[in-house]
């Protein structure tokens, strides 16, 4: 059985990522980080973004963030439906008001979203993102957010280009590498203005997904409400 699952994962990794391919089109047989932190001047010349590739370092520097692991999903193994994935999502992927408020994940061209649960495609955490491998993701924030991080899951591996936006516009760009299984960690902190969205663009159409994300204002104690609105469960 272990050998069979290994063959299945290899078969997925060898699959072409041509335009039109999606995660849910691959359902047959699919049921079976560290690094230095980098600070860069942002485009405005006054803001500074700090990028993280180490989860422990990010969490230590940014305590008390709101977390979302997408464990409230209605999906048994893998499924797709319309986005965005947020507090008001109410479809086959998530029931109404089961995703925390303040964060929204969508495909930049408003394509369908996918939810995958282990062990589909070798993932080890619940992973969400655009269903089309050629789709590019965007996270939007509706509560004050200066830090955002999570795991980028890509069963085939690959590079992801990332652009961070604040209230003043684009704050800076970077690239990172997504990984199979539980993915690779990536995070960002902006020292002066709030982050309103983060765009992810995969130049090789390898299909970026996300798991175990966190966002908000770093605090000494974890917040459960913001402006009287529940933001964690």
Question: Is 80 exceeded by the pLDDT of residue 29?
Answer: no
The token pair at 169 is 């516009």
* Average pLDDT, rounded, for the chain: 83
Domain membership flag for residue 1: no
Domain membership flag for residue 14: no
pLDDT on residue 225: 39
Q: Report the percent of the chain where pLDDT is more than 70.
A: 75
The pLDDT tens digits of the residues spanning 106-131 come to 999 999 999 999 999 999 999 999 99
CA 2/CA 130 separation, integer angstroms = 29
pLDDT on residue 9: 39
The mean pLDDT of 83-97, rounded to a whole number, is 98
The token pair at 96 is 């109404």
How far is the CA of 45 from the CAs of 20, 175, 189, in angstroms? 40, 20, 16
* H runs (alpha helix) in the chain: 2-13, 55-61
| Structural domains in the chain (count) | 1
Domain membership flag for residue 12: no
Domain membership flag for residue 9: no
The token pair at 110 is 């408003």
pLDDT on residue 36: 44
Domain membership flag for residue 16: no
Domain membership flag for residue 71: yes
Domain membership flag for residue 54: yes
Please state, as a whole number, how many other Cβ atoms lie within 10 Å of the Cβ of residue 13: 13
Please state, as a whole number, how many other Cβ atoms lie within 10 Å of the Cβ of residue 18: 9
Q: Is the pTM of this model over 0.85?
A: no
**Residue keyed to tokens 């180490």:** 54
Domain membership flag for residue 190: yes
Question: Is 60 exceeded by the pLDDT of residue 19?
Answer: no
Is the separation of the CB atoms in 188 and 47 below 8 Å? Answer: no
pLDDT band at 220 (very low <50, low <70, confident <90, very high): low
Domain that holds residue 146: 22-29+33-230
CA 27/CA 38 separation, integer angstroms = 38
């Amino acid at each position: 059985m272990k050998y069979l699952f290994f063959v299945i994962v290899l078969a997925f990794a060898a699959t072409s990522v041509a335009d039109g391919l999606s995660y849910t089109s691959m359902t047959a047989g699919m049921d079976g980080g560290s690094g230095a932190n980098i600070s860069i001047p942002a485009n405005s010349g006054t803001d500074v973004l700090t990028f993280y590739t180490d989860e422990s370092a990010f969490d230590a520097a940014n305590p008390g963030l709101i977390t979302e692991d997408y464990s409230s999903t209605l999906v048994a193994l893998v499924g797709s439906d319309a986005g965005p994935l947020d507090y008001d999502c109410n479809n086959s992927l998530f029931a109404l008001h089961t995703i925390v408020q303040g964060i929204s994940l969508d495909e930049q061209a408003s394509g369908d979203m996918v939810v995958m649960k282990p062990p589909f495609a070798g993932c080890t955490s619940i992973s969400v993102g655009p269903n089309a491998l050629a789709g590019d993701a965007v996270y939007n924030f509706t509560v004050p957010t200066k830090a955002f991080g999570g795991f980028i899951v890509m069963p085939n591996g690959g590079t992801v280009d990332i652009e961070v936006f604040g209230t003043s516009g684009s704050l800076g760009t970077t690239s990172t590498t997504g990984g199979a299984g539980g993915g690779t960690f990536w995070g960002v902190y902006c020292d002066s203005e709030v982050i309103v969205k983060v765009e992810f663009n995969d130049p090789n159409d390898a299909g970026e997904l996300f798991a175990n994300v966190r966002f908000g204002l770093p605090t000494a104690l974890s917040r459960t409400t913001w402006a009287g609105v529940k933001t964690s469960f």
